[in-house]
Structure 1
């Protein structure tokens, strides 16, 4: 009945639930742990990174290219340097060559220069003690452009081969004459052809083509074509070898097989040389014509060059003045 005797209206004992010993111990430990907790400590961040890299240290590291890129860059630089050295050597060689030619021109005697400015004639190459001096100046590297130099040299080699063939023709006709005395006329004519055709061919078709390539002269081209067509016809006649025409061709050589085989063989060799001359002449004529078409030459230009050359020629001017003065003097005497 004691419970019923208590006064329900009396304030109960004021009890603080947080004053319990277990709760107080728990809250004090939690607050201590919260105060000691450092979210940026190495222990708490171990899950994400083991070490912290300073910004200054990371930014100060140099950038390193891969080894293959460095090697390719070095190889390119070495190649470029080698090309520059090679170009420099070529330029030095060209400069040395120009200096050499300039010194040669300066050392030439001006008193011996003939119609070529300060250039001394150098062809034919004769000894200094020889009484006859060179008559022409010839220098392929100096006077002929690069695109025409090869064909011009080939024309010069054809002329040399032509001259050697004419000399061998003299020997073959001499053997022909010794085997049969009735062919003495061939031997005499062969000497005449050698003495006549060697210089005439040089002046009439080789020098015109040389001048044409040197100065791009339309008149020289037309003169060369006109004369060289006849030269090709002469080569064909010499190859055929008509008896008593002074040529050791195929007809003459074959006719000697039954009489003297050794002489026939010698004559056949010369006939082969004449055949090679004819073939080379046709080939080179076509090559020169193709070069001529690329130069822009024409018959009108040839006429202009001819008229200009005639009007400016001193010999022609002197002859015209003499003729005019003679006509005036004759008319005065008539009056």
Structure 2
């Protein structure tokens, strides 16, 4: 017989794995069962190292106390307003000083970058230096460059016409000694109209296209209209007025045909100046209307330019001080 004594048909012995001595020894400790933690309980218990529990102290709550509102007095309000105004004034003065400093820096930077006057184009060895800076591609917008250049060409054509007028009057004076008045006046017109036309109507229209200035536009229109009238008078050629126009040229035909032909050529030049001046005046006026300029803007620009001019300010201050001193001395 074999050594098996158990009956295979009997119930097996129930074995509890948690009753193993190794498991019971590891799980048996001196700490009691941890109670369930209720976070919503009124008091929270703290556990010491020896197992005793200590109730946690709850912070004592005190009712909130509202501070009474204190309204500022009128004196305090006035003082705060004055302090605010002084602070704003100091800020404005600081900004003005900053703008003036930046303007000086830009001017010095422009002088240091070599942006020097380039008109009239004189040699470097010439004792007189250029007086103006002129650059169509840099200073004039692209849509205005064509008209601005045409105004510049008209001014040069006008100068050439005045010079030819001097020569025609000289030729007339050589054949007729009584025409010395015309020759003298032609020299005077050439000396006066050449620089004045550049300063009085060409430079204003150049500045108007450059900076879109309403005041420059109005100044140009007023002066150039007078220039158109002068062109027409020169074209007509009234005798003894120093102009080789059509009347003066036709009157010389019976005495000297060659001189008459020369004077007729000059009269043709004056006619071209008159026609071109009328056409360009209309072109500039149409562009002026598209820029949005107005008479109110021109007045505003003039007033701002005069009031911000340091020479005008110093003159006004000196006049006011002298008037005040005269009043005190009179009293």
Query: Normalising TM by the smaller chain, what interval?
Result: 0.5 to 0.7
Question: Which range moved further: 320-329 or 225-234?
Answer: 320-329
- RMSD over aligned CA atoms reads 1.8
Which residue is 2:181 aligned to? 185
Which residue is 2:122 aligned to? 126
Q: What whole-Å deviation, never above 9, does each CA across 1:94-138 have from its counterpart, x for those lacking one? A: xxxxxxxxxxxxxxx96994xx99631111111112111111110
Matched, 1:307 2:303: yes
Q: Distance in 2 between matches of 1:304 and 1:323?
A: 24
Residue 112 to residue 124, structure 1, CA distance change in 2 (3 Å): farther
Q: Which runs of 4+ in 1 moved over 6 A?
A: none
Q: Distance in 2 between matches of 1:127 and 1:323?
A: 44
Q: Distance in 1 between matches of 2:276 and 2:204?
A: 18
Which residue is 1:208 aligned to? 204
Matched, 1:326 2:322: yes
Q: Distance in 2 between matches of 1:312 and 1:164?
A: 39
Which residue is 1:253 aligned to? 249
Aligned mate of 1:269, from 257, 265, 271:
265
Structure 1 position 328, deviation (Å): 1.3
Q: Distance in 1 between matches of 2:297 and 2:183?
A: 44
Which residue is 1:81 aligned to? none
Superposed, 1:289-304 pairs within 5 Å as: 289-304=285-300
Which residue is 2:274 aligned to? 278
Q: What whole-Å deviation, never above 9, does each CA across 1:291-318 have from its counterpart, x for those lacking one? A: 0011000001001000000011111111
Which residue is 2:151 aligned to? 155
Q: Distance in 1 between matches of 2:210 and 2:230?
A: 27
Structure of larger gyration radius: 1
Q: Is the 8 A contact 1:110 1:118 kept in 2?
A: no
Task: Mark the runs of 5 or more structure 2 residues left unpaired by the alignment.
Answer: 1-106
Which residue is 1:141 aligned to? 137
Q: Distance in 2 between matches of 1:119 and 1:329?
A: 46
Q: Distance in 2 between matches of 1:283 and 1:133?
A: 34
Match of 1:119, SS? coil
Q: Is the 8 A contact 1:241 1:271 kept in 2?
A: yes
Aligned length: 225
Q: Distance in 1 between matches of 2:311 and 2:198?
A: 23
Residue 118 to residue 215, structure 1, CA distance change in 2 (3 Å): farther
Q: What whole-Å deviation, never above 9, does each CA across 1:10-57 have from its counterpart, x for those lacking one? A: xxxxxxxxxxxxxxxxxxxxxxxxxxxxxxxxxxxxxxxxxxxxxxxx
Matched, 1:288 2:284: yes
Q: What whole-Å deviation, never above 9, does each CA across 1:50-101 have from its counterpart, x for those lacking one? A: xxxxxxxxxxxxxxxxxxxxxxxxxxxxxxxxxxxxxxxxxxxxxxxxxxxx
Superposed, 1:58-97 pairs within 5 Å as: none
Superposed, 1:211-230 pairs within 5 Å as: 211-230=207-226
Structure 1 position 332, deviation (Å): 1.9
Which residue is 1:164 aligned to? 160
Q: What whole-Å deviation, never above 9, does each CA across 1:135-157 have from its counterpart, x for those lacking one? A: 11100000000000000000000
TM-score after normalising by structure 1: 0.65
Q: Which has the higher helix share?
A: 1
Q: Distance in 2 between matches of 1:132 and 1:322?
A: 35
Which residue is 2:59 aligned to? none
